[in-house]
């Protein structure tokens, strides 16, 4: 597959390579592709354990997960594996490439700071907020993401799969890639810029899919994980513009079938949905090991004011 849609409602977007149009500072003007660092990361995640319980597991090192891949890629490659579950994401660190450190350094010169008097309390500066008016190209509104309850169960299930897939890719487009080199964005490291994009876009999908459950502690793990997945996919996408790649990285989760539906006495509906992941890792320096993986996604929903809301944390089971 040569091109992947950014939004399932807009299949006209083409991700073929075009000359870079950003205004690059200094020596970067000839080659916008960033180098990758070698910072170890804690990278492997899963939403269910072997008993099907809802947990997130973090491995201490990605190296143990990549034993079969170390011999296949040189240190000029970025490894990314989209794991066994629908939300699973592995970005290789260890002795190879992390995504954060070298690209996080601001492009401005360092400024010497005066010594701090330890006898006085130190005030920490709050993180800078995303400026009002920062827009993410291709970001739909909450109303556009919300799923109509006036559909068949199969249509609702397909819309749920598409919404989660689109969330992972929102902001992954040429316009947002170029914007990182413009104005004050040019002084940000890559992860800082990605965080800026996610800060605007993540809450829109969270509100559309989870409604009031956004503030429920039981949902915090899945929200944190979806934000991490979005972050890592954006990092991979922005890092795969340039001559080393035929096309920037894209990933998509596709609806296959609605396997079963269970209606509860409380009015909730549990859907068991077969999905399959595809990506274009064969077109860039990303190792898309998740392509072709089937996953069963379990969604528990309610119909509220004519729209669908997820009322229990989604579960994912490898098939």
CA gap 129, 61 in Å, rounded = 32
Question: Over its length of 319 residues, how does the chain's per-residue pLDDT go in tens digits?
Answer: 444 444 555 544 444 444 444 554 554 444 444 444 433 333 333 344 444 443 333 233 333 333 333 333 332 333 333 333 333 333 322 212 222 223 333 444 334 444 545 455 555 444 445 556 799 999 999 999 999 999 999 999 999 999 999 999 999 999 999 999 999 999 999 999 999 999 999 999 999 999 999 999 999 999 999 999 999 999 999 999 998 899 999 999 999 999 999 999 999 999 999 999 999 999 999 875 678 999 999 999 999 999 999 999 999 998 8
253 burial type by CB count under 10 A (0-12 exposed, 13-18 middle, 19+ buried): buried
Residue 257 forms beta bridges with which residues?
A: 274
pLDDT at 291: 85
pLDDT at 234: 97
Note the pLDDT tens digit of each residue in 112-122: 444 545 455 55
Note the pLDDT tens digit of each residue in 42-53: 333 334 444 444
Task: Give the SS3 label for residue 115.
Answer: coil
Residue 308 forms beta bridges with which residues?
A: 147, 303
66 burial type by CB count under 10 A (0-12 exposed, 13-18 middle, 19+ buried): buried
Q: Which two tokens stand for residue 229?
A: 């997945």
209 burial type by CB count under 10 A (0-12 exposed, 13-18 middle, 19+ buried): buried
C-alpha count within 13 angstroms, C-beta hemisphere, residue 281? 20
């Amino acid at each position: 597959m040569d091109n992947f849609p950014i939004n399932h409602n807009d299949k006209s977007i083409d991700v073929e390579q075009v000359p870079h149009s950003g205004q690059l500072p200094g020596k970067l003007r000839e080659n916008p592709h960033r180098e990758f660092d070698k910072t170890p990361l804690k990278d492997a995640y899963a939403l269910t354990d072997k008993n099907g319980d809802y947990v997130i597991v973090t491995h201490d090192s990605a190296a143990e997960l990549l034993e079969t891949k170390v011999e296949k890629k040189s240190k000029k490659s970025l490894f990314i594996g989209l794991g066994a579950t629908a939300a699973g994401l592995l970005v290789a660190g260890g002795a190879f490439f992390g995504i954060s450190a070298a690209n996080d350094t601001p492009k401005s010169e360092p400024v010497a700071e005066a010594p701090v008097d330890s006898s006085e309390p130190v005030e920490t500066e709050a993180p800078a907020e995303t400026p009002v008016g920062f827009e993410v190209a291709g970001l739909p509104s909450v109303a556009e993401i919300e799923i109509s309850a006036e559909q068949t169960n199969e249509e609702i299930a397909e819309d749920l799969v598409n919404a989660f897939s689109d969330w992972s890719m929102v902001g992954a487009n040429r316009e947002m890639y170029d914007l990182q080199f413009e104005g004050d964005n040019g002084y940000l490291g890559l992860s800082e810029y990605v965080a800026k994009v996610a800060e605007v876009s993540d809450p829109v999908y969270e509100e559309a899919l989870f409604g009031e459950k956004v503030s429920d502690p039981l949902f915090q793990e899945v929200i944190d994980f979806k934000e991490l997945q979005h972050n890592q996919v954006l990092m991979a996408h922005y890092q795969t513009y340039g001559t080393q790649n035929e096309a920037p990285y894209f990933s998509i989760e596709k609806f296959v079938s609605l396997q079963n539906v269970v209606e509860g006495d409380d009015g909730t509906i549990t859907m068991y949905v077969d999905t399959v992941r595809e990506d274009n890792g064969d077109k860039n320096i990303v190792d898309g090991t998740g392509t072709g993986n089937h996953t069963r996604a379990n969604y528990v929903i309610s119909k509220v004011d004519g729209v669908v809301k997820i009322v229990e944390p989604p579960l994912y089971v490898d098939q």
